[in-house]
Each structure stands twice: as C-alpha cells, then as structure tokens.
C-alpha cells in the first residue's frame, strides 16, 4: 500500500517536473517499453550488457544490470575498479583532506579545547600509506561486489570493432572479443592541461600527482580555482605549503552561489590561501630547481613572475574516449569530446549507451552512479530517473560548501520572484558548543508558492547537511515544510530548519 502511494506520487511529480524543465536539465522517461535488444539466454557467450569502464558510472551500472538479471561484463583497463573516483579522485583526496585537517586541528584548535601537546609532527609517508590503504580496500571491495553479483570482469583496454563487439587487449597481454546486445560507454574523464603547460607529475602536477607528492612543497601554485584545486590546495596548505591560486575567471568556483562564494573565499584567505583572480598563465620555465610561471592579467597587461616548487594544474577535466574506436562504429561526439545521449542514455548508434563524465552534465561520481542505474533500468525495460537539477555539489574544504538546486544568480536570471532565508552557524547552539561556528545556511524559495529552489550551506559538515535539502527539493517541498520538520537538538541541522523558518516566516534564534 505504501509503495503504491509512493509510486503514484512519484509519477505525479515526474509529470509535473517534466513539463516545467529544460531537456538539458532533466532526464525522465515514462515509457515502460524496452529499448534494449533483448536478453541473452543464460549460458550464452553474448552478454546482455557490456560496460566499458569500471568507474562509479560503470561499476554501478554493471552491478545494477546483474541485479536486474542481465548477463553482464565490465571491462576496465586500469587493473583496479572504481575509476578516477576511487583511485585518483574522490577517495584519496578525502583521505588526505581528513588527515591534513587533523594535523591542522591539532596545531590550531586542540589547545582551545584544553588538549595540549608538546609537539605535533607530520609523517607524510604514513599519511600517504593510510590513503593508499583506504583506496586499496575500497577498490578490492568492488571486485568482491562483482563476484557477489556475478558480473564478469575483464581487465584490459576495450575498443569497439562493431556496435555489439568490443576487442579487449588484456592486461595479461592477450586479446579477447567481448560481445554484448547493449554496450555502455563509461570511460569517464581525464586531466585537462593548459596550452603550453606540460604535466610531468613532478614539478608540474595534475590532481593525480598532487595526491602523491613525496615532500611538502614550500611554495605551491594551483592553476584553477575549481573545487579540485581548492581541495588539494587546502591539503598542502594545512601541511605547511604557501599556496597561491591563479584563476583566469573573476571568481573562484563559478558554479557556486555568489554570496556564499564570497564568504568561502574570505574563509580560505583566513587560512592563508592567496588568490590571483582574473590572471592567466602565459609562460612556464622549469629549467631551474623550481618552476617560474609568467602571469598576465586576463585582459592583457604587464607580466609578472611567480615562483613555485610545485605547480598543480587544475583546469578541469576532459571526457576520455581515446582508443575506443568511436569513429569505427559512428558514435558522435560534441565539440568538447562528450558523447551526446538521449533521455535513455542512448547514443546515436542503436544498442550503444553512454553515462558519467563522458556525457554532458555535472562531472561528479554520484551523478555518474545515478546515470548508470537509470541507463540499465531503461535497458531492462523499466523506468530510469536522474534529475540533473537536483544533483548536490560539495567542496570538501574546511568549512565545506555544499549546494543543491539553483543559485540566487540563476533564480534571478530566470526572472522568478523569490524569497531568501539565511541562518548563520554563529547562532547555532551545537556549532557554538564545539567552537566551530563559521558558515551559513541560505535557502531560496519561490515567492508565490514557497517551493524551495536552492539550498546553499557553508559549514564544517555541509556535505552531510545538504541531503535533507536534496530530499526536500526532490519532493518539491516548500520552505515551510522543511521548517515544520522536528530537528534534533543540539545539531547543526537545526540551522537548516531555522533558515527555512527565515525563508517563509521568522527564525527563532536570531
């Protein structure tokens, strides 16, 4: 009974959202007909689903396909599963962010709580070893999930030889052909460099190199003020590097709500991170011991030299389809190399699908996972559902910044009349009790209906707090709905409730 009610409400919301949203922002389907080429009988050599790439998009799609009863093979060239996220992205970066945060807290905060040390030291190899252990455990865990769910796993480089056949040069040195009625491209993304800058992963590193430095650089320059650059800059800054972030754009993290972004930048500056905005790198000299970067104002002008021991190039990521043979089977790509797909994640070639970082949309692990599940649900003849408007984004610095839905700038640009409710953590009892009260919750709601349009949180644990907002947005809640939910005391979550109260009425504690 409960399920039936849930299903009816979901269908209603899907229909309502579908009629209001842009095709780019939304992927829904109501058809229950299968788009697949049918399912192989058990024991046949041909797979129902072949997934190329074992990242969060690919491995989740493979497991879900197997759970739906489809014979499934996943091909991965790296030798370990988990893709960018587990091997050189989300997981190792969060491990180092946590370790470096503990060091920073021990140095700067513990004494305020009456915990004193005579000295605190960094053991960088031990820190890196804990990160590597976390990565190894998690990647092996996915191999275990493949076995549990009976997903076949082929280690090697996959290349299309037809829309239903992938030739794999295996890591062991042989070659095998993997056949599939449906093939999902989940080959993800790779580091993007900048013209004239060669990444050597020693003095000039990508995020991958920045996760494995053997020494703490005295001076670190981060080129690009996106979330990856700021997270890695935070790690090395906390460990003692002097960090300067050079950014072409006038602002850091362009996708962030403007007001939150300003507070966030101030907070990072308090942590001694320096910013050179509206600045471009026009030359790199690695001939000496360190690196000399020649900088110029974005709009042109006098050049300056900035010296560094290590330069992290963090200028975004680019879809990865090299050596995949897309041209051989006629799969189209757009001008930045992404694979366009329809609402069912189907490419222009029947039976070939694409998900995750290799298609348009936010380049985030959880979005890739949602794509993967929805894609195989469509293949299995069920409904899939991903709403790109409601994908939360988190910057895992300290404080963290998390958001879901629209920024104030986006709401204004759409001409929607809106209300704003804010609540600072300075007025939150839990934040005060733990002496960590920097940050704010900001909620945007439609003026006429009170429907929540966007929620932006800067707080130590914003990445966890954001999910009640994600639930609220998903169910089209009003700010009053959120305000009337009983929140446990004392919690940081009460700031979300109070911000919701401030949006539709008045908060109590400020």
Ligand X SMILES: Cc1cc2nc3c(=O)[nH]c(=O)nc-3n(C[C@H](O)[C@H](O)[C@H](O)COP(=O)(O)OP(=O)(O)OC[C@H]3O[C@@H](n4cnc5c(N)ncnc54)[C@H](O)[C@@H]3O)c2cc1C
**Positions in the binding site for ligand X (CB under 6 A):** 52-58, 75-78, 83-85, 89-90, 93, 157-158, 186-189, 207, 228, 320, 323-324, 356-357, 363-366, 368, 396
Q: Cβ of residue 328: shortest distance to ligand X, in angstroms?
A: 13
Q: Cβ of residue 74: shortest distance to ligand X, in angstroms?
A: 9
Q: Which is nearer to ligand X, 54 or 507 (CB)?
A: 54
Does the annotation place 240 within a ligand binding site? no
Does the annotation place 231 within a ligand binding site? yes
Q: What is the DSSP code string of 403-444? A: EEE--HHHHHHTT--EEEEEEEGGG-HHHHHTT----EEEEE
Would you state the structure tokens that stand for residue 471, as one six-digit string? 């639930």
Does the annotation place 228 within a ligand binding site? yes
Does the annotation place 473 within a ligand binding site? no
Q: Are 386 and 370 in contact (CB under 8 A)?
A: yes
Q: What is d(CA 56, CA 290) in angstroms, rounded to the nearest whole number?
A: 36
Kindly report the number of other CB atoms within 10 A of residue 255's CB atom. 14
Q: Which is nearer to ligand X, 186 or 375 (CB)?
A: 186
Choose among 373, 66, 338, 352: nearest CA to 184: 352
Does the annotation place 62 within a ligand binding site? no
Q: Which is nearer to ligand X, 201 or 448 (CB)?
A: 201
Q: What length does the chain have?
A: 510
Q: Give buried/exposed letters for 382-404 (b at 16+ CB in 10 A, else e).
A: ebbbbbbbbbbbbbbbbbbbbbb
Kindly report the number of other CB atoms within 10 A of residue 358's CB atom. 29
Q: Which is nearer to ligand X, 190 or 446 (CB)?
A: 190
User: Is 487 one of the catalytic residues?
Assistant: no
Does the annotation place 380 within a ligand binding site? no
Q: Which is nearer to ligand X, 76 or 468 (CB)?
A: 76
Q: Which is nearer to ligand X, 199 or 364 (CB)?
A: 364
Does the annotation place 52 within a ligand binding site? no
Q: Cβ of residue 78: shortest distance to ligand X, in angstroms?
A: 4
Q: Cβ of residue 202: shortest distance to ligand X, in angstroms?
A: 18
Give the largest CA-CA distance in the chain. 72
Q: Cβ of residue 208: shortest distance to ligand X, in angstroms?
A: 7
Q: Cβ of residue 91: shortest distance to ligand X, in angstroms?
A: 8
Q: Which is nearer to ligand X, 74 or 380 (CB)?
A: 74
Does the annotation place 225 within a ligand binding site? yes
Does the annotation place 227 within a ligand binding site? yes
Q: Cβ of residue 498: shortest distance to ligand X, in angstroms?
A: 28
Cα of 49 vs its chain's centroid, Å:
26
Q: Which of these is catalytic: 467, 489, 504, 509?
A: 489
Strand partners of residue 443: 421, 455
Q: What is d(CA 223, CA 93) in angstroms, rounded to the nearest whole number?
A: 17
Q: What is d(CA 400, CA 253) in angstroms, rounded to the nearest whole number?
A: 13
Q: Which is nearer to ligand X, 160 or 418 (CB)?
A: 160
Cα R_g (the chain), whole angstroms: 24
Does the annotation place 229 within a ligand binding site? yes
Q: Helix, strand, or coil here: 319?
A: strand
Q: What is d(CA 133, CA 430) in angstroms, rounded to the nearest whole number?
A: 33
DSSP state letter for 376: H
Would you state the structure tokens that stand for residue 270, as one six-digit string? 């308090």
Q: Are 50 and 178 in contact (CB under 8 A)?
A: yes
Parallel, antiparallel, or unpaired: how do β-strands 352-354 and 440-446 relate? unpaired
Q: Are 87 and 62 in contact (CB under 8 A)?
A: no
Q: What is the DSSP code string of 52-105? A: E--SHHHHHHHHHHHHTT--EEEEESSSSSSHHHHHHSHHHHHHHHHHHHHHHH
Q: What is d(CA 250, CA 271) in angstroms, rounded to the nearest whole number?
A: 20
Q: Cβ of residue 403: shortest distance to ligand X, in angstroms?
A: 13
Does the annotation place 482 within a ligand binding site? no
Burial of residue 89, with CB atoms counted within 10 A of its CB: 0-12 exposed, 13-18 middle, 19 or more buried: buried
Catalytic residue list = 489
Binding positions are 94, 158, 187-189, 224-231, 247, 316, 357, 363-366
Feature table: binding site for NAD(+): 224-231, 247, 316
- Which residues are known binding-site members for FAD? 94, 158, 187-189, 357, 363-366
């Amino acid at each position: 009974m409960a399920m039936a009610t849930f299903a009816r409400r979901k269908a209603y919301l899907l229909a309502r959202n579908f009629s209001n949203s842009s095709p780019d922002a939304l992927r829904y389907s109501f058809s229950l007909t299968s788009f697949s080429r049918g399912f192989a009988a058990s024991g046949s050599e041909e797979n129902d689903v072949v997934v190329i790439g074992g990242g969060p998009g690919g491995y989740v799609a493979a497991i879900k396909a197997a759970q739906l009863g489809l014979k499934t093979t996943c091909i991965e060239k790296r030798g370990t599963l988990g893709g960018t996220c587990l091997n050189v992205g989300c997981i190792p970066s969060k491990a180092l962010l946590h370790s470096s945060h503990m060091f920073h807290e021990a140095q700067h905060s513990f004494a305020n709580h009456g915990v004193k040390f005579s000295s605190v030291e960094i053991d960088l190899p031990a820190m890196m070893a804990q990160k590597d252990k976390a990565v190894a455990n998690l990647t092996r865990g996915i191999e275990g999930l493949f076995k549990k769910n009976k997903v076949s796993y082929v280690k090697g480089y996959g290349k299309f030889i037809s829309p239903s056949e992938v030739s794999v040069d295996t890591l062991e040195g042989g070659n095998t052909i993997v056949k599939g009625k449906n093939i999902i491209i989940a080959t993800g993304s790779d580091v993007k460099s900048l013209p004239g800058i060669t990444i050597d992963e020693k003095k000039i590193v990508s995020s991958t190199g920045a996760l494995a430095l053997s020494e703490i650089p005295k001076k670190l320059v981060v080129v690009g003020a996106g979330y990856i650059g700021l997270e890695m800059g935070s790690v090395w800054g906390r460990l003692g590097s002097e960090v300067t972030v050079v950014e072409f754009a006038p602002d850091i993290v362009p996708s962030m709500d403007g007001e939150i972004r300003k507070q966030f930048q101030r907070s990072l500056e308090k942590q001694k991170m320096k910013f050179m905005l509206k600045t471009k790198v026009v030359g790199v000299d690695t001939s000496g011991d360190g690196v000399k970067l020649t900088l110029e104002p974005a709009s042109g002008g006098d050049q300056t030299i900035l010296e560094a021991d290590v330069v992290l190039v963090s200028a975004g990521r680019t879809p990865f389809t090299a050596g995949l043979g897309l041209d051989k089977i006629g799969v189209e790509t757009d001008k930045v190399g992404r694979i366009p797909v329809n609402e069912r994640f189907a490419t222009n070639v029947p039976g070939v699908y694409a998900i995750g970082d290799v298609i348009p949309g936010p380049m985030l692990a959880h979005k890739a996972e949602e794509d993967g599940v929805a894609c195989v649900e469509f293949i299995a003849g069920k409904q899939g559902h991903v709403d790109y408007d409601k994908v939360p984004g988190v910057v895992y610095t300290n404080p963290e910044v998390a958001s879901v839905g629209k920024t104030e700038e986006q709401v204004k640009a759409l001409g929607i009349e809106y209300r704003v409710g804010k609540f600072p953590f300075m007025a939150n009892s839990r934040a005060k009790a733990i002496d960590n009260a920097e940050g704010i919750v900001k909620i945007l709601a439609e003026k006429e209906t009170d429907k929540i349009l966007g929620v932006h949180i800067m707080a130590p644990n914003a990445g966890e707090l954001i999910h009640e907002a994600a639930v609220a947005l998903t169910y089209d809640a009003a700010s009053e709905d959120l305000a009337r939910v009983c929140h446990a005391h004392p919690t940081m979550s009460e700031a979300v409730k109070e911000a919701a109260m401030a949006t539709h009425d008045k908060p109590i504690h400020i």
